[in-house]
Amino acid sequence: MYDYKNPWKVRIARALNRVMQDAGIEGTVEPSRIVAEIPPNPELGDLGFPMFSFAKLLRKGPPQIAQAVAEALAAETVSGTFAAQGPYLNVRLNRGEAAAAILAEALAEGGAIDKPGEFAFGRPGSLAGQRIMVEFSSPNTNKPLHLGHLRNDVLGESISRILAACGADVRKVCIINDRGVHICKSMLAYQEYGEGKTPESESLKGDHFVGDWYVRFNTIFTEEAKALEKEKCLKKEEAEAQAPSLAKAQDLLRKWEAGDAATVDLWKKMNAWAVGGMKETWDRTGVSFDQFYYESQTYLLGKDEVLKGLEKGLFYKKPDGAIAVDLSAEKLDEKVLIRRDGTSIYITQDIGTAIFRHKDWPFDRLVYVVGSEQQYHFKVLFTLLDKLGFEWAKNLYHLSYGMVNLPEGKMKSREGTVVDADDLIDSLRDMALNEIREKDREEAVGDSAVVAEKIALGALHYYLLQVSPTKDMLFDPKESLSFNGNTGPYLQYMGARISALLRKAESSGEVSGTVFNAELLSGDAEWELIKTLAAYPEAVSAAAAGMDPSLLAAYLYELSRTFSRFYHDCPILNAEESGLASARLALSRAVLRVLQDALHLVCIPFLEAM
């Protein structure tokens, strides 16, 4: 992997060691200790190397060290120029040499155009040899996926692709919450009012069909509670606790746990409908999993581990018989792990599931993509697993993300409180399709319905990923679909524009983008684009290290803006001479490869025409 910073790190380390030797100072400075920065003003140079960290070692001020390093480098024959400026050694690279090396790697055989997501140039290898499991989505089987799931899903899918791009062996898993009283609520409503209806008979996706029965239950339950509240002068909470439908749902849960055949058959049928519908949405959005775990298979796990912890004195039994742990030393609270009636709670299940997963697929790291409201839960979980003696507990990570809402009330929602994922994507697709028709682009784009769907997904995914995961956000459908500014469709348009340019060059046959002289790319607009290309592996590595796809989204936007300036300032097919035209065309091809690969990493469909 070509790194235009590394040769200068080696040279500066060598120069620092000569300065130390001349001063009689023992020790060696390794190139890894040299920090490279991009100067805020391009006039200062292409790279800046601060000398602050060596002041104590050399017993000199940073400006004096920078000057001494410059004098030591003067004795060498180097490619490029350098100068001490205050506490920095600033460097101007040899543009032609750097351009040739960067384009040679970016245009190597294979890559993003042929195999999206398998691009050697943007692969820093920083996570080679690591096995990382990523858990995301975690839906309930009583309702369809919603807007919150869309943010969760694209975060999980994107970070999985980014980690894999850095060399990790990634396993994407999903735990489906398919048991509990909330599942029994939709089962009860269907049992009493379903009359043998199916998703097929009602022309509904399976998850929507099941979700409608959950809404039906809540309607009945609410009416019952209000009637009790009025008739018996009860408080709302008391009335809800006494509602007959809730008692029936709880009874259905007891029957399920007891293995009642009819109840289990109904549960299997409705869960199959719900999960089948969810898989359709995942397929639609480009999300996939290597393995599914089901709460019905894991909810009893963990209890034995807690009992072992009790025997070891890690946990204690309360006067009422419950088993708990005191985490005040870790600045957490007391936590009950097994209730006084001997039943487990959710964190007990999570303890068992984590241990089961590590036995199933021994990971180096496990990343949980879960909303920020669960931060405390995961702090407790990781602490408990560490107390139980699992070494890998130190490498568990909660990728916490904020809430996502809409600025203008609610779009069509099957739940009445959340925005249905399929309805939102349908709405975005229809808006994109109208835009294509209004601009009379139907013939140019080919299958306009397919293109509109991809534009919708590009708009949605980029908007959800462009902000740091930890932040709450407002999703504005109209703003996300803009073809101008920092949006997914703008990035897709840039890819389509370059694709059209390459098609035009190929059809004319007058300019070759495969045979070129990179040293001709010496203009400022060309050089800024080349430097932006060179920063791609670092952007991928930073996104992986920070578990933050927004860093890669920001890189994509910067690459697109920089190409737009280059396209405006530098004629390509109509360049003043054919050699320059070929070089600029090769540069455009390299940008397209990186753009297409980076779009894949942030789950944005690539379009050759828009």
Structure tokens at 124: 């820093």
Place of tokens 């139980």: 388
Residue 588: in which H helix or E strand, if any?
A: helix 578-601
Question: What percent of the chain has a predicted confidence (pLDDT) above 70?
Answer: 96
How are beta strands 334-338 and 323-326 bridged, if at all? Answer: antiparallel
112 has a pLDDT exceeding 60: no
Residues 289-300 pLDDT 10s: 999 999 999 988
Would you call 143 exposed, middle or buried from its count of C-beta atoms within 10 A (0-12, 13-18, 19+)? buried
Contact 109, 119 (CB under 8 A): no
For the segment 37-57, the average pLDDT, to the nearest whole number, is 93
Residues 240-279 pLDDT 10s: 999 999 999 999 999 999 999 999 999 999 999 999 999 9
Q: Which letter does DSSP use for residue 177 in this model?
A: B
Residues 528-537 pLDDT 10s: 999 999 999 9
4 has a pLDDT exceeding 80: no
Question: In whole angstroms, what is the distance from residue 215 CA to residue 189 CA?
Answer: 9
3 state SS for 409-465? CCCCCCCCCCCEHHHHHHHHHHHHHHHHHHCCCHHHHCCHHHHHHHHHHHHHHHHHH
pLDDT of residue 202: 96
Question: What percent of the chain has a predicted confidence (pLDDT) above 90?
Answer: 85
pLDDT of residue 1: 54
pLDDT of residue 114: 43
Q: Which range has the worst mean pLDDT, 43-57, 98-112, 130-144, 592-606? A: 98-112
Contact 206, 276 (CB under 8 A): yes
Q: Model confidence at 140, in pLDDT bands (50, 70, 90)?
A: very high
pLDDT of residue 6: 84
Mean of per-residue pLDDT scores for the chain:
93
11-17 long-range contacts (CB < 8 A, ≥24 apart) are: 11/73, 11/76, 11/78, 12/49, 12/69, 12/73, 12/89, 15/69, 15/72, 15/73, 15/76, 16/54, 16/58, 16/65, 16/69, 16/72
Contact 586, 516 (CB under 8 A): yes
pLDDT of residue 46: 93
pLDDT of residue 2: 59
3 state SS for 199-214? CCCCCCCHHHHHHHHH
Contact 431, 457 (CB under 8 A): no
415 has a pLDDT exceeding 60: no
414 has a pLDDT exceeding 50: no
Contact 544, 481 (CB under 8 A): no
For the segment 179-189, the average pLDDT, to the nearest whole number, is 95
**Higher local confidence (pLDDT), 344 or 312:** 312
Which runs of consecutive H residues, i.e. helices, occur in 439-570?
442-445, 448-465, 477-480, 488-508, 524-534, 536-545, 550-569
116 has a pLDDT exceeding 50: no
Which runs of consecutive H residues, i.e. helices, occur in 166-301?
181-193, 206-231, 236-241, 244-257, 261-285, 295-298
Closest Cα partner for 503 from 100, 113, 112?
Answer: 113
Q: Model confidence at 413, in pLDDT bands (50, 70, 90)?
A: very low
Closest Cα partner for 242 from 230, 253, 252?
Answer: 230
pLDDT of residue 417: 59
Q: Which range has the worst mean pLDDT, 63-72, 179-188, 403-412, 479-488? A: 403-412
For the segment 402-413, the average pLDDT, to the nearest whole number, is 68
For the segment 455-469, the average pLDDT, to the nearest whole number, is 97
User: If you compute the radius of gyration of the chain from its CA atoms, what whole number of angstroms results?
Assistant: 30
Question: In whole angstroms, what is the distance from residue 13 CA to residue 31 CA?
Answer: 5
